[in-house]
Amino acid sequence: MPTLLTLVTVLAMASCDEPAAPEAPRLRVEELPPAPAKLGFENADYVRRARVGDPQCVDSKIGREGGKALACDGDGDRLEFRQSEVWSIGTSPFTLSIWVRPERVVDAGLVSAGGFGGKHGWAVTMQADGAVRFEANTSRGASAGVAVTPPLTLREQHWTHLAVVLSRDNDLLRIFVDGHEKASTLVTKIDLTDPHARVVVGAIDESREFDFTGRFDEIQFRKAPLGDRQIENLRQWIADARERLGE
């Protein structure tokens, strides 16, 4: 394992000012020590213009001191921004790491870049039974892979850590819940990037059918899969976070 993990982090926070037209926030690359307790976000305002609806900045109980989480109350609340080179997966491996605390467990968007409802791209969503679903689709609308965790993966008013990990050595995608593998699937090695799709955190669209109500924290993304040693570190980081949360 390398001595440093290069993580691309997007801070889940939004300004309380009226937003301008949504645009891509500047993404910052941080080199963080492998100690999992130190993975996280710092306060930043570069996602202000990505706000859609009325998500609010709230203090993070998981991240670093002074960090922020994103609170959504439905009604289309989300962060939305153009895909940068970092988020354009293409045929690359990747790891998406996120803490989520739903107030209501319903069909809702979590993190996506297209991919929902047969659209080109990929999406991670919550189902009404509390399961977490990953789906990816080709540019022609054919499924490139689907993985669904067991029901009750997500519970109301309870923080859960999710890690979606795709390795291109074997094209295996795995969903880890609190550091433990709960679902997997093979993902076709095709370009998963729809250049016209935006990265969305929260409500998938304005239909109000897939609104998210709750909080997001510590969203991290990088174009590399977690190795076994890193997954072990992840479990310890989650345990440390749970101690802080009192859960």
Looking at 21-35, 55-69, 95-109, 144-158, which range is the least confident one? 21-35
Integer CA distances (angstroms), 197 to 81, 110, 145, 185, in order: 9, 15, 18, 23
Range of the domain at 162: 5-245
Terminal Cα distance for the chain, rounded? 30
The CATH number given to whatever domain includes residue 196 is 2.60.120.200
pLDDT digits (tens, 9 = 90+) for 197-234: 888 888 886 656 789 999 999 888 888 898 888 888 88
DSSP states along 56-114: EEEE-SSSSTT-EEEEEESTT-EEEEE--TTT--TT--EEEEEEEEESS-SSEEEEEEE
What's the number of domains the chain is made of?
1
Confidence of residue 123 (pLDDT cuts 50, 70, 90): very high
% of residues, the chain, pLDDT over 70:
75
CB contact at 8 A, 66 and 203: no
* More confidently predicted of 25 and 139: 139
Whole-model pTM: value is: 0.81
Nearest to 86 by CA among 223, 225, 191: 223
Owner of token pair 């998210």: 212
Distance CA 147, CA 134 (A): 5
